[in-house]
Amino acid sequence: IKAIQTGFALAQETDADVIGIGEMGIGNTTTSSAVLSVLLEADVEAVTGRGGGITDQSYLRKKQVIKDAIAINQPNKTDVIDVLAKVGGFDIAAMCGAFLGCAEKRCPVVIDGFISAVAALCAYKLCPEAVGYFIPSHASYEIGYKLAMDAMGLQPLFLLGMRLGEGSGCPLAFEVLSAACSIINDMATFDQAGIDDGYLNEIRQGDKFSVEGAK
């Protein structure tokens, strides 16, 4: 709970138009996979990837460690804080709080990579309405990433085949968001720019006929 509160406070204190949440660490794809497996009631095999790169033997051991951790600690799938405490970590908990802190102050927040996505899912489970402020950057190569996105009804902006988190996709997402805001705020309409769009009438008529034909 303290870790969640810490992340929440950091997000609240950050003066920015948009915030990106990434992580740095080794081994936290293991805890993230464990959290994801419990929250989505998904098989460990379906949510666990190779992380930073490991041998086949280490990969098998990683999945067994997750299975053992869940079996031994028996996290309550309906209680996000219980899941984080038993098979997660302070990093995921703090990031979860940061997502909630951004949503509370109506600040867009960028999801970056697999661990960030799992933290966002935890925030979503605690407060579903917060997802309206979540913007995924790149799709992680980790196999559990898509399951987390699907659970929140989100689509990543980029498909770059990246395994990396650490905020690496945030600068790219920031530029797209900046461009989107510029279009909304600064781009002229056809009327404002004095553009004759009469040439579109035939297309519009065609669309109308297609719709009527479908009916």
Residues catalogued as catalytic: 166
CA atoms within 13 A on the CB side of 198: 2
Spell out the residues 6+ positions from residue 160 whose beta carbon is closer than 8 angstroms to its own. 138, 139, 169
Question: Checking DSSP bridges between strand 19-21 and strand 158-162, what pairing results, if any?
Answer: unpaired
User: What CA–CA distance (Å, rounded) separates 98 from 3?
Assistant: 10
Q: From residue 94, how far is each of 6, 45, 53, 57 by CA, in Å?
A: 6, 26, 25, 31
C-alpha angle 131-136-140 in degrees, rounded to nearest 5: 130
Per the CB < 8 A criterion, the answer to whether 121 and 148 are in contact is: yes
User: What CA–CA distance (Å, rounded) separates 1 from 14?
Assistant: 20
Spell out the residues 6+ positions from residue 46 whose beta carbon is closer than 8 angstroms to its own. 37, 143, 144, 147
